Amino acid sequence: MKFKTLTLAIATVIASSAVLTGCGGDGSDGTDGTAGTDANASAVKFASIAPAVTEDEQNSIRATGSVNVAGEEQTVSYQTLIKTGDVNNGETYGVVKDYQDNVIQELDGSAYLCNGTDTGKGSGLDHFSFLQKNGKVYMVSQFECGPGAMYMNELEQASDGKLTVKADSLQFISQKDDFGGWVHCAGMTTPWNSHLGSEEYPADANPAASYPYTANSYYSEVTDKFWGGNAAMNNPYYYGWTPEVTIGTDGTPNYTKHYSMGRFAHELAYVMPDKKTVYLSDDGTNVGLFMFVADTAEDLSAGTLYAAKWVQTSSDGSSMGQAVIKWIDMGHATDADIKTIVAAKPAFSDIFATEAPQADGSCATSGFVNVNTEAGNECLQLQDVNGDTAVDAADEAIAARLETRRMAAYKGATTEFRKEEGITFNQRDNKLYIAMSEVAYGMESNEKKGVTNTTYDLGGNNDIRVEYNPCGAVYALDVATNSTIGSDYVAYSMKGLVSGTPVDYSGTALEGNTCDVDGIASPDNVTFLQGSDILVIGEDTSAHPNDMVWAYNIKDGSMERIFTGPYGSETTSPFWHKDINGFGYLTVTTQHPFGEVSGSYTRPAGVETKSEAGYIGPFDFSDVK
């Protein structure tokens, strides 16, 4: 492949200051969203590549070829690991199976492949994790279709660090004991080396909703394909949870869903260093931000769920905005208890009674609470969910799992975030980072894309009141110990860190890009290179026809473009593995290449359309502490 590498003046800078403890100041300690540094912080600088302009560049996967780490130049490259449709061990990577673990067949008799460019509802391969267990390196992959699929294989590591998929090691991971998989989006490798995934876009269980499960195309797809067309076997509450895959001592993958962590459009569940605090992002319009604190480290089967309350401290209409974050207790639950309720196929009416809101968004009847979530303005009344004749905290905890977003709004939390995506953590500076692909709708104040419109605030709190930005932003959150919650990693403030900029490139070689090509557009998943100042930001955007991955320096604000995907693809789920037997790897998925095309663009004949898993590397980060 051909790409232009920009000439960089690379210098090593090692700065010294106190490590953040979560307390605020005048900004010199990093509390303005930038990083403080310590004596172990080493400069990391990537060689940047130019935006994709030529036909070859637009049709190719392109990546940086070098990085300077602690003053030494390292040569790196992009390496493909596996593509959808590849066959290994008699299994086809990305093929989806039904509730009996039989391959799902298309009408023409071919296997249903979750590729994002074939028939079927879905986007294709999304996230894959590297897991170090049993003295081996495993790879767990999840596919963003409904029904979803997961696969596991082993990796072989050469003496120079190069990774390849081991022959005859690919296994399909059955999800049939937890009602099947659903629209698996982002994920992570946990501190205990398991794969923590996600189930995005669950169907609205309210049959009277504006977009009910009966009209949801993902729901129809999973009914037809996973359940063989038998609607009686399906239920909307089966989906929208957080799955985890652990590797047994015999190398067998073990799959479970964590019902205790709530049901919504999970983009990502991110585990903090204490191995019990988990941040949960919610992808959609008028959605919430959640935190789960497990009872026991490395065990996510029981714990307490919290919903964020944005208390704005910046002026109305400010760019990105700034807020104090408060946490609303949503109650304690266990996987086992919630799964029992889910297996009984509850109806929405078992959880909430509803009535139509009045014109001003308020509720006419006492006992009903007005909310505004992705389902719009509603009047809800909590029911006796567990059947003990009283509506109490136990019912709230159950409702907070089955209808997490609605229950968060019911209890006064903020459900105004828009396209809340990836999460990562800078442990050195106690900074959490969360991407918003678009700052719009509920995040505005009674506006829709800058134009007066009350739809997204009517009947709600109107907590977030910031400026519309179609190019999106990444936010920084300070975390500290909270003895009441019982966690050392509780976010208490949130502020915009970096945003994209709308640009008109009409009549130029960059036409088709509607956000500045030297900045982010629709930031999706993020990962932090621990010990450095580098926040890696991936895109899921149509504002850059060739989605990019960025190395953003949180200290000086510089950005290096380090990856571009083929036209119409997403650069999903970049994730940093600092030390796999002494080597570092930045994983990246190229999802549905040429799958989201517009205008007059035509894919050249012979160019592949397979989603693929790969990495940039190997790196040596041994000098970065």
Q: So what's the pLDDT on residue 8? A: 26
Asked whether residue 164 is assigned to any structural domain, the reply reads yes
Asked whether residue 245 is assigned to any structural domain, the reply reads yes
Q: So what's the pLDDT on residue 599? A: 64
Q: So what's the pLDDT on residue 625? A: 76
Q: So what's the pLDDT on residue 600? A: 63
Kindly report each contact of residues 369-372 with a partner whose C-beta sits within 8 Å and lies 24 or more positions away, as own/partner.
369/410, 370/459, 370/460, 371/406, 371/409, 371/410, 371/415, 371/459, 371/460, 372/286, 372/409, 372/415, 372/416, 372/442, 372/456, 372/457, 372/458, 372/459, 372/460, 372/461
Whether 247 and 254 have beta carbons less than 8 Å apart is answered as yes
- Model confidence at 623: pLDDT above 60: yes
Residue 417's CATH number: 2.120.10.30
Q: So what's the pLDDT on residue 40? A: 41
- Model confidence at 165: pLDDT above 70: yes
Confidence of residue 7 (pLDDT cuts 50, 70, 90): very low
195-196 β-sheet, strand order = 188-189, 195-196, 242-247, 253-258
Asked whether residue 30 is assigned to any structural domain, the reply reads no
Asked whether residue 139 is assigned to any structural domain, the reply reads yes
Q: So what's the pLDDT on residue 539? A: 97
Lowest mean pLDDT among 24-28, 437-441, 523-527: 24-28
For the chain, the C-alpha Rg in angstroms (whole number) is 23
Mean pLDDT of 510-526: 96
Helices (H), 7-147: 55-58
Instruction: Give me the number of domains the chain comprises.
Output: 1
Encoding tokens for residue 302? Answer: 């029981």
Mean pLDDT of 381-388: 96
Q: So what's the pLDDT on residue 206? A: 97
Cα 295–Cα 258–Cα 199 angle in degrees, nearest 5? 140
Whether 218 and 204 have beta carbons less than 8 Å apart is answered as no
Distance, in Å, from the CA atom of 441 to the CA atom of 360, rounded to the nearest integer, reads 18
Q: Please tell me which residue, 557 or 7, carries the higher pLDDT value.
A: 557
Mean pLDDT of 574-588: 97
Distance, in Å, from the CA atom of 91 to the CA atom of 388, rounded to the nearest integer, reads 48
For residue range 585-621, list pLDDT tens digits in order. Answer: 999 999 999 887 766 667 778 778 899 999 999 999 9
For residue range 26-77, list pLDDT tens digits in order. Answer: 332 333 444 444 444 458 999 999 999 999 999 999 999 999 998 999 999 9
Half-sphere exposure of 253 (CA within 13 A, CB side): 26
Whether 591 and 610 have beta carbons less than 8 Å apart is answered as no
Mean pLDDT of 371-381: 98
Q: At what angle do helices 335-343 and 393-402 cross, to 10 degrees?
A: 70
Encoding tokens for residue 14? Answer: 């090692």
Backbone angles phi, psi at 293, to 5 degrees: -120, 110
For residue range 122-153, list pLDDT tens digits in order. Answer: 999 999 999 999 999 999 999 999 999 999 99
Mean pLDDT of 165-184: 98
Domain hosting 106: range is 44-620
Asked whether residue 28 is assigned to any structural domain, the reply reads no
Asked whether residue 292 is assigned to any structural domain, the reply reads yes
- Model confidence at 527: pLDDT above 70: yes
- If you search the block for the tokens 């990305």, which residue do you land on? 94
Asked whether residue 378 is assigned to any structural domain, the reply reads yes
Burial of 448 (0-12, 13-18, 19+ CB in 10 A): middle
Residue 579's nearest CA partner among 70, 271, 189, 276 is 189
Confidence of residue 2 (pLDDT cuts 50, 70, 90): very low
Asked whether residue 625 is assigned to any structural domain, the reply reads no
Report helix, strand or coil for 150.
strand
